[in-house]
Amino acid sequence: MTATQIPATVTAAATAPPGTAACLRKVLWGAQIYLAAFLFFASALPKLAGQATAVETFTEIGWGQWFRYVTGIVEAAGAIALVIPRLAGLAAIGLIGLMGGAVLTQILVLEPAWALLPIAYAVVFAAVARDRRAESSQVLHSLRDTLKR
């Protein structure tokens, strides 16, 4: 570890009262596990398996069924990465983008009232991304160093 890299536990401890950072991390882990399970089992798998409601929804969206597969793959990959501590922050950032697309789709094409659900999920993903920013930075620095070789 270089002098410019600060462990996540140090940064979390420096910004919160003692015990609060550990408690927040546990709450976020619970939310991550719940959202990962939801994304994988209730959202990605029905899309990838061709469940009738998923097929109908993507027909209504009008982008074709290829977009259903892409969305399902992105959700499944994001769900898996969300429970890997080193990748959780980067997955959360990517999932914020996915939720942004879901919000726009709900407002512009489907049912505007349902846009509140992906907004709520995006808020949780933002909290995860913020909490995991040290790990995300380390992954990005490692990737950059690997690409320089």
Report the C-alpha gap between 129 and 135 in whole angstroms: 10
Instruction: Write the DSSP string, the chain.
Output: --TT---HHHHHHHHS-TTHHHHHHHHHHHHHHHHHHIIIIIIIHHHHHT-HHHHHHHHHHTS-HHHHHHHHHHHHHHHHHHTSHHHHHHHHHHHHHHHHHHHHHHHHTS-GGGGHHHHHHHHHHHHHHHHTHHHHHHHHHHHHHHHH-
Closest CA to 96 of 134, 46, 136: 136
Type of residue numbered 44: A
* pLDDT the model gives residue 107: 97
How many other CB atoms are found less than 10 A from the CB of residue 43?
20
From first to last of its 149 residues, the chain has per-residue pLDDT tens of: 444 454 444 444 445 566 788 888 899 999 999 999 999 999 999 999 999 999 999 999 999 999 999 999 999 999 999 999 999 999 999 999 999 999 999 999 999 999 999 999 999 999 999 999 999 999 999 999 999 88
* pLDDT the model gives residue 5: 52
What are the residues whose beta carbons fall under 8 Å from the beta carbon of 96, sequence distance 6 or more?
122, 125, 126, 129
User: Six-digit token pair at 26?
Assistant: 């546990």
